[in-house]
Amino acid sequence: MNENENSYYNPAQLRKFQEHGVIIPDLSSVRIGREVAFDKIAAGSTLHPFVRINGSNTEIHAGANIGLFGPVTLDNSWIGENAVIGSLGAVTLKDTVVGPESILGSGVAEQAVLLGKETKVNDFSTGYGFRIRKGSLYEEDASSAQHTDTKMTVLFPWTTLGSNINFCDVLLAGGTGPEPGYFSEVGSGTIHFNFSIRGDKATASLFGDVSSGVFLDQQRLFIGGNNSLLGPIKADFGAMTAADVRINGAFSAGLNFGHSLPKGKIAYDPRIFLGALGIVKKQVNVLAELTALFHWYQQIRIAWVAQTPQQKFIYESGLRMVELNHQERLSQLQRFIDAVDNSLSLTLKTETVSKKEIVEQKLLLQRWPDIQKQLSVLANFALTVPQTLLNNITEQQAQGNSVYTKLIQKLSQEGKQSGKQWLNTITEKVRNVFVEEIKKGE
């Protein structure tokens, strides 16, 4: 037996998992690392042939069906009750949390969290060829179809991505249910372009918002197929786009047709940054929404909604994804500020940039260290949750409404409104940091 083989339980030892109630049809084709404790794989779970499990943090809960139609590799990943991993083929999960009832087709996920399925309207969480990368958070019943790629992406309950989509550095909210016509949707072939022509990523986009979106009572968003989404975008609830269009900036409720570029070319130096102050302001707006979402997870989901250790763990995992997104946005803003510094040194040698732009860039560079210091501490923006909202949550739980999406939707208008005002106040506190610090330098 070589060293690699010695790091896995042998077939005789795997029988102990069977005796514990784990279903393993073929002991010879399943590999479980010795660091995985026997009690981390629950009775009633099934490990099909060509499943490999590693990592001391791996857990598989009752009813989970691993490797149904293809080989599966789990590395330090947590699988909830009745989840199906590999419903369409091979799956690799690394440092990933998959909530109960999730159905993963075929693909790869790493440093990501899916909160699970609460309805059976569709029969998948991900389709064939998914790639769910670092910082992706799929909330309840969020889903993606074939050949989708996400990174630093937050999908609210019921939101769905079609096929052949790249959707990174985005928050997507909206919708009032899992049925067709009620959930927010991104059409097949759509790409969110999250790199500017200059190479920076101060381009994160908001489709809907957190303050209203978490209450699951807002109009859905519909992004047509084959759209070119040029971040940063701010889309209102109820916004729709036609198929095959180019969208940037802000767009409001109603059907948006986008626009095309004129023919020809202009002189352009990608090292020269224009409108820097406005770009940073838009990204601070994204940070404001993520800050509100952080406190929603910490003060509502974890502190009040979670009823079991498993549910609390899933929500805590979701909170980590929100923190990762927040850290990513600050990191990308710092890279942007560094590029602006370089741009300013070039700009001062030319006469092609307005004096107003130069003054704004100097001001931004001067005030950014203090802005960044304040924005980086999420705890700075904690506010007491309205008692009206907490009482309302407790009432719903007392009535037996423990399913998250149903509980939230059944909250009273008074409870929801107090919650929206609470979260809006948090986002305003974040935005005001930027506004006040810029004023200090004027």
User: Is the pLDDT assigned to residue 277 strictly greater than 50?
Assistant: yes
In this model, does residue 2 exceed pLDDT 60?
no
Tens-digit pLDDT profile for residues 408-435 = 999 999 999 999 999 999 999 999 999 9
User: Under a CB-based contact definition with an 8 Å cutoff, are residues 145 and 343 in contact?
Assistant: no
Other beta carbons within 10 angstroms of residue 352's beta carbon come to 11
pLDDT band at 268 (very low <50, low <70, confident <90, very high): confident
Q: What is the pLDDT of residue 331?
A: 98
What is the rounded average pLDDT for all residues in the chain? 95
What are the domain boundaries of the chain? Answer: 3-256, 276-441
Which residues, 6 or more positions from 196, have their beta carbon under 8 angstroms from its beta carbon?
A: 202, 203
Check residues 58 and 4 and name the one with the higher pLDDT: 58
pLDDT value of position 339 = 93
In 246-299 the beta strands, taken as DSSP E runs, fall at 246-251, 254-256
pTM for the complete prediction? 0.96
Contact between 107 and 131 (Cβ < 8 Å): yes
Residue 341, phi then psi, degrees to nearest 5:
-60, -45
pLDDT at residue 25 greater than cutoff 70: yes
Count of all residues that appear for the chain in the document: 442
Given a contact cutoff of 8 angstroms between Cβ atoms, the answer to whether 249 and 233 are in contact is yes
**How much of the chain is helix, strand and coil, in % rounded to 5?**
35, 20, 40
pLDDT of residue 119: 93
C-beta atoms surrounding 227 within 10 Å: 24
Looking up tokens 């019921």 gives 158
**pLDDT tier at 230, thresholds 50, 70, 90:** very high
195 pLDDT above the threshold of 50: yes
Calculate what percentage of the chain has a pLDDT beyond 70.
Answer: 99
For residues 90 and 380, give the distance between their C-alpha atoms in angstroms, rounded to a whole number.
44
pLDDT of residue 139: 98
* CA gap 14, 19 in Å, rounded: 9
Tokens of 263: 């023919």
> C-alpha angle 430/432/438, rounded to 5°?
120
In this model, does residue 280 exceed pLDDT 90?
A: yes
- Mean of the pLDDT values across residues 261-290? 91
Which of 97, 100, 106 is CA-nearest to residue 135? 97
Pairing of strands 78-79, 59-60: parallel
**Residue 4 has what pLDDT?**
64
Angle (CA) 223 226 232, round 5°: 60
Q: pLDDT-derived band of residue 350, with 50, 70 and 90 as boundaries?
A: confident
Q: What is the pLDDT of residue 1?
A: 40
- The residue with greater pLDDT, 267 or 115, is 115
Higher pLDDT, 263 or 214: 214
> Where does the pLDDT of residue 347 fall: very low under 50, low under 70, confident under 90, or very high at 90 and above?
confident
Tell me which H or E stretch contains 79: strand 78-79
Helix (H, G, I), strand (E, B) or coil at 380: helix
Lowest-pLDDT range of 1-10, 186-195, 202-211, 323-332: 1-10
**CA pair distance 263, 37, nearest whole angstrom:** 64
- Asked if 134 and 324 touch (Cβ cutoff 8 Å), the reply is yes
Report the pLDDT value the prediction gives residue 3, as an integer from 0 to 100.
44
Peptide bond into 11 cis (omega under 30): no
10 Å Cβ neighbour count for 423? 27
pLDDT at site 198: 87
| Spatial separation of the C-alpha atoms in residues 316 and 302, rounded to whole Å | 7
Q: Is the pLDDT of residue 54 over 70?
A: yes
Q: Are 169 and 153 in contact (CB under 8 A)?
A: yes
Is pLDDT of 189 > 50? Answer: yes
Reported as a pLDDT band with limits 50, 70 and 90, residue 220 is: very high
Structure-block tokens of residue 437: 């610090």
Fold of 3-256: UDP N-Acetylglucosamine Acyltransferase; domain 1 (2.160.10)
- At 34, the pLDDT band (50, 70, 90 cuts) reads very high
Across the range 315-321, mean pLDDT stands at 98
